[in-house]
Amino acid sequence: MVNITDKIKEIEEEMKRTQKNKATEYHLGLLKGAQLLEPGPGAGGGGGSGFDVSKSGDARIALVGFPSVGKSTFLSKVTKTRSEVASYAFTTLTAIPGVLEYGGAEIQLLDLPGIIEGAAEGKGRGRQVISAAKTSDLILMVLDATKKAEQRALLEAELEAVGIRLNREPPNIYLKVKKAGGMKITFQTPPKYLDEKMVFNILRDYKILNCEVLVRDEFATVDDFIDVIMKDHRKYIKCLYVYNKIDSVSLDFLDKLAREDHTVVMSCELDLGIQDVVERCWKELKLIRIYTKRKGVDPDFSEALIVRSNSTIEDVCDRIHRTLKDTFKYALVWGASARHVPQRVGLGHPVSDEDVVYIVSGWRA
């Protein structure tokens, strides 16, 4: 029996060489929709110890890359953790956690073993490594600047194969599974890469026979639609491409590299650009600092509550104690989010970086 993954690659290569048409896209769509592509519970992976490291701190960053690109050296320079460092492959054989202290936050860095080609298929304990990356809030893809093109493309393919979507938003497709009523498929605008027959057959392959589908994006692809069906197995994660060993490339190439999207450059060997990487991590994580105060006491600016940038007073309450919002009366806010100072607000008030918050609570009858 022909391996379905190989068949897909064969058709994709053929489509690159020839003009695309609905027939070839439809054929590819049905193959990609085959359930054999999605291993069931307990499939794949195999035995052996995993990389289960307890999540701690205000956020988690996973360091992903091929062996000996500088992940362990970077971890050692920005945290108090010393991961085993050497100039040969496979030095790190387990996940090494460290804590980066920045902006009042404690950010967990996870130095994962080097990924090798074929990791998504289980080579080099690759499935375990990539599964650990799925738990992160940000991925640092550490690359060798002298091997830029091939390393990045291979790593992106390995992460894509296990459901990690880098620097992307979930597809703008609505899918609601029902108990009866058949399929109702609607396109908000004429689609470029999908049609009703393709959507119908992919749904049927996944044994979804009763549902509503609304495709809002005219550029949605087969892969996007499958991602919506398999949303429980997909993770959309921000990624920073960190190019190490910039001391080994020309200035012209370095300048071009540094201008690429989601990219930052450094040299661990010469201690160049390391602080730039840390600052970009903070920016990508979109964390904000909230300071609390008590009645008659000035706020303590030495210790902040760390929350996400789109957080509200309710989220601040949850960070203090999970039951605080149950007895919440109101809050007083000083800072950028307040129309006047102090502003009296409720749980739904959005907070801004470095706001000062005073929460009033009391038991209700």
Least confident segment among 8-17, 30-39, 164-173, 258-267: 30-39
Return the higher-pLDDT residue of 114 and 203.
203
- pLDDT tens-digit readout, 65-123: 888 898 989 999 999 876 655 444 444 557 788 899 998 899 999 888 776 555 555 55
User: What is the per-residue pLDDT for 86?
Assistant: 44
Does residue 51 have a pLDDT over 70? no
pLDDT tops 50 at residue 287: yes
Higher pLDDT, 4 or 267: 267
Q: What is the residue-averaged pLDDT of the chain? A: 83
Structure confidence at residue 60 (pLDDT): 95
Q: What pLDDT is stored for residue 125 in this prediction? A: 59
Third-level CATH fold of 59-168+234-285: Rossmann fold (3.40.50)
Give me the pLDDT at residue 105, please: 92
pLDDT at 167 over 60: yes
Would the pLDDT of 3 be above 60?
A: no
Structure confidence at residue 33 as a pLDDT band (50, 70, 90): low
Residue-wise pLDDT for 242-272, tens only, equals: 999 999 999 999 999 999 999 999 999 999 9
The predicted structure's pLDDT at residue 25: 61
In the predicted structure, residue 11 carries a pLDDT above the cut 90? no
3-state SS string over the chain? Answer: CCCHHHHHHHHHHHHHHCCCCHHHHHHHHHHHCCHHHCCCCCCCCCCCCCCCCCCCCCEEEEEECCCCCCHHHHHHHHCCCCCCCCCCCCCCCCCEEEEEEECCEEEEEEECCCCCCCHHHCHHHHHHHHHHHCCCCEEEEEEEHHHHHHHHHHHHHHHHHCCEEECCCCCCEEEEECCCCCEEEEECCCCCCCCHHHHHHHHHHCCCCCEEEEECCCCCCHHHHHHHHCHHHCEEEEEEEEEECHHHCCHHHHHHHHCCCCEEECECCCCECHHHHHHHHHHHHCEEEEEECCCCCCCCCCCCEEEECCCEHHHHHHHHCCCHHHHEEEEEEECCCCCCCCEEECCCCECCCCEEEEEEECCCC
Return the CATH fold of 287-361.
Ubiquitin-like (UB roll) (3.10.20)
Burial grade of 352 (CB within 10 A; 0-12, 13-18, 19 or more): middle
144 pLDDT higher than 60: yes
Residue 63 confidence (pLDDT): 94
Tell me the average pLDDT across 161-169: 92
Least confident of 6-10, 23-27, 178-182: 23-27
pLDDT in tens, 17-31: 555 555 556 556 655
- Structure confidence at residue 362 (pLDDT): 81
pLDDT greater at residue 89 or residue 276: 276
Q: What percent of the chain has pLDDT over 90?
A: 60
Instruction: Give tens-digit pLDDT for 328-361.
Output: 999 999 999 999 999 999 999 999 999 999 999 9
pLDDT at 286 over 90: yes
pLDDT at 94: 73
Domain ranges for the chain:
59-168+234-285, 171-233, 287-361
